[in-house]
């Protein structure tokens, strides 16, 4: 899967569209130029954001601390920086 991304000095920046309260969690493919991610966590008290960091860290084989939500923390559409990932 070819994920649209921008290069950053220490990794890449991707756009993510999140679906909270899904029956399964994981990367669901591409939709509208964004990486679609399904989460089982509700969008309450940062639970969905924490699970998003976990899912992306597993998918890209990086530590959770290397996944940073830089824009859209309270939105379904987010901009995420992945440190240590190259294209």
pLDDT single digits (tens) 11-55: 999 999 999 999 999 999 999 999 999 999 999 999 999 999 999
Task: Tell me how far apart the alpha carbons of residues 5 and 46 are, in angstroms, rounded to a whole number.
Answer: 24
Specify the pTM.
0.94
Identify the CATH number of the domain in which residue 43 sits.
3.30.1200.10
How many domains does the chain divide into?
Answer: 1
Give the pair of three-digit tokens for residue 2. 């070819």
What residue numbers bound the domain in which 72 lies?
Answer: 5-83
Task: Tell me how far apart the alpha carbons of residues 16 and 69 are, in angstroms, rounded to a whole number.
Answer: 10
């Amino acid at each position: 899967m070819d994920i649209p991304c921008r290069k950053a000095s220490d990794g890449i920046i991707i756009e993510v569209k999140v679906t909270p309260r899904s029956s399964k969690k994981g990367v669901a493919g591409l939709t509208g130029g964004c990486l679609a991610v399904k989460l089982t966590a509700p969008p309450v008290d940062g639970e969905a954001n924490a699970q998003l960091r976990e899912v992306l860290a597993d998918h890209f084989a990086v530590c959770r601390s290397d996944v940073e939500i830089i824009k859209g923390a309270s939105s379904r559409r987010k901009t995420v920086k992945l440190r240590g990932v190259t294209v």
